[in-house]
């Protein structure tokens, strides 16, 4: 059974704080192993990547077969059913349309002195996307990572995806193709991250690496950060559903379980102002847990980290949700827009009963790579912004320099940075000659 909390209970605040700070994931400390792998790839390049792939993925490669050929991709993609292809195509189209609206605008303006100020956005030149292999090899994640990069204008987009025992997921390759990915390498783990960051004889380096992965991949991304940009390090994910008495308890139960089935350390929380709704949802979850394919995982998650919180009103629900800062927030209430206006921290909001979180995972359009583990307090989901960067622009005129140069000189002197001051003074003197 999940935890039951009631805001009217005396020890509610302590219990809710405990719920928030429960550590849901123990990452094994693989940092030393990963440091060795990165060093190996940096010094020995292809040879190291090939050896490590043989060791971890039981796959013998050569420099020529590190990368999928066009023929191999075509043969694999041909295995995808028409229904799956149509679904992926619709998803790609909708994700592209949503992200196209995120392209930021350049700005340039002129001040009275004729000085011009502004900024300009440019895409990252080359990006690499890590795609997990095996069971968690999700074509939807390929779309969600690759499409924003291509919309941003990334010229060279490479994917690394391990293929243990040589088994590749045709849907992943099709998703890459639909997203416009330029290169696909059949490698994984810390060695793939190192190859993307530092390059090898056969794999040119990239400037930014995104995408989910296991503890080795996460540790490798942390280590190469600085040499290249990385996206967030994802933790176990969570859903929070706020429901009033009008919601459909069976739908909510499935939404909670669709989070729980991801991972034993996922967290599903229901906040409601209706005791009857709380009871009905819990009963529906129990019922579905009897038959669900992934009931072992979902059941463990619900048992260990699930929570049902009874509140006095929806304002209280919003305040508690803001303390959680959930990755996914569903508002299954009569007036979801009014409630959404009170939400200050959440990765994604799904408004109303007709918007199951699964729509956002696949096809709604918004990105499904979202801030986990309360990091929606300070970060955003993946977007086009992750693949562009801003260059600020400043162009002074003699009049502008005469207006603001003396103040810059004063500040430079007070910071004991003489050359800074002189660089302004030399120009001011030229104007006053």
Q: Check binding of 78 to a second copy (CB under 8 A).
A: no
Q: Residue 193 to residues 87, 123, 134, 214, 331: CA-CA distances in angstroms?
A: 30, 21, 17, 12, 38
Q: Residue 342 interacts with a second copy (CB under 8 A)?
A: no
350 membership: H or E segment, kind and range: strand 348-351
Q: Is 402 annotated as a binding residue?
A: no
Rounded CA separation 371/347 (Å) = 6
Residue 39 annotated as binding site: no
Q: With b meaning 16 or more CB within 10 Å and e meaning fewer, what string describes 290-304? A: eebeebebbbbbbeb
Residue in 45, 48, 133, 140 binding a second copy, rule: CB under 8 A: 140
Q: Which residues, 143 to 182, sit near a second copy by CB under 8 A?
A: 171
Within 1-60, which residues bind a second copy (CB under 8 A)? none
Q: Is 390 in the site for a second copy (CB under 8 A)?
A: yes
Whose Cβ is closer to a second copy: residue 70's or residue 337's?
A: 337
Please pick, from the candidates 5, 151, 228, 308, the single residue that binds a second copy as defined by CB under 8 A.
Answer: 228
**Least distance in angstroms from the C-beta of 12 to a second copy:** 21
288 is in an annotated binding site: no
- Measured CA to CA, the distance from residue 209 to residue 214 in angstroms comes to 15
| Cα separation, 166 vs 163, whole angstroms | 5
Residue with Cβ nearer a second copy (257 or 282): 257
Q: Which of 98, 130, 185, 216 binds a second copy (CB under 8 A)?
A: 98
204 three-class SS: coil
In the bound state with a second copy, the residue whose beta carbon lies nearer, of 59 and 172, is 172
Q: What are phi and psi of 291, to 5 degrees?
A: -120, -15
Q: Does 304 bind a second copy (CB under 8 A)?
A: no
Query: Is 130 known to sit in a ligand binding site?
Result: yes
Instruction: Single out the segment in contact with a second copy by CB under 8 A; choices: 9-17, 37-45, 52-60, 343-351.
Output: 343-351
Phi, psi of 274 (to 5 degrees): -125, 115
362's enclosing H/E stretch is helix 357-362
Contact letters for a second copy, residues 250-269 (x by CB under 8 A):
xx--xx-xx-xxx-------
Number of residues assigned to the chain: 433
CB atoms within 10 A of CB 354: 9
Which tokens hold the place of 289? 């847990």
Binding residues: 130, 191, 214, 237, 259, 262, 328, 361, 415, 420
The annotated binding site for NAD(+) is made up of 130, 191, 214
């Amino acid at each position: 059974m999940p935890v039951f909390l009631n805001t009217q209970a005396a020890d509610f605040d302590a219990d809710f704080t405990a719920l928030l700070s429960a550590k849901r994931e123990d990452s094994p400390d693989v940092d030393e192993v990963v440091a060795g792998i990165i060093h190996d790839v940096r010094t020995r390049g292809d040879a190291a990547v090939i050896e490590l792939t043989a060791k971890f993925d039981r796959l013998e490669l050569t420099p020529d077969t590190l990368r999928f050929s066009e023929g191999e991709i075509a043969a694999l993609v041909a295995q995808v059913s028409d229904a799956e292809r149509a679904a992926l195509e619709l998803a790609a189209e909708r994700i592209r349309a949503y992200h196209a609206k995120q392209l930021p605008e350049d700005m340039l303006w002129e001040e009275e002195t004729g000085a011009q100020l502004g900024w300009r956005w440019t895409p990252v030149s080359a990006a690499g996307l890590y795609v997990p292999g095996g069971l968690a090899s999700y074509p939807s994640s390929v779309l969600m990572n690759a499409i924003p990069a291509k919309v941003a204008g990334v010229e060279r987009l490479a994917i690394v995806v391990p293929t243990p025992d040589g088994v590749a997921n045709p849907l992943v390759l099709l998703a890459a193709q639909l997203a416009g990915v330029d290169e696909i390498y059949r490698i994984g783990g810390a060695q793939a991250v190192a190859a993307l960051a530092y390059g090898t004889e056969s794999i040119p380096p990239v400037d930014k690496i995104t995408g989910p992965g296991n503890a080795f991949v996460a540790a490798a991304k942390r280590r190469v950060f600085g040499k290249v940009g990385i996206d967030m390090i994802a933790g176990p994910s969570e859903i929070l559903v706020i429901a009033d008495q009008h919601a459909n308890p069976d739908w909510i139960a499935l939404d909670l379980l669709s989070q729980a089935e991801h991972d034993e350390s996922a967290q599903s929380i229901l906040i409601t102002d209706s005791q009857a709704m709380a009871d009905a949802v819990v009963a529906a979850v129990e019922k579905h847990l009897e038959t669900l394919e992934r009931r072992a995982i979902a059941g463990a998650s619900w048992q260990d980290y699930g929570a049902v919180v009874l509140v006095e009103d929806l304002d209280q629900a919003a305040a508690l949700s803001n303390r959680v800062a959930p990755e996914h927030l569903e508002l299954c209430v009569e007036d979801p827009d009014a409630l959404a206006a009170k939400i200050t921290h959440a990765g994604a909001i799904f408004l109303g009963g007709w918007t199951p979180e699964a729509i956002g995972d696949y096809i709604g359009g918004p990105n499904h790579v979202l801030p986990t583990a309360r990091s929606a307090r300070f970060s955003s989901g993946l977007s086009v912004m992750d693949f562009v960067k801003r260059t600020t622009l400043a162009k002074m005129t003699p009049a502008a320099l005469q207006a603001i140069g003396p103040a810059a000189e004063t500040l430079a002197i007070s910071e004991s940075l003489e050359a800074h001051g002189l660089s302004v003074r030399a120009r001011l003197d030229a104007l006053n000659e």
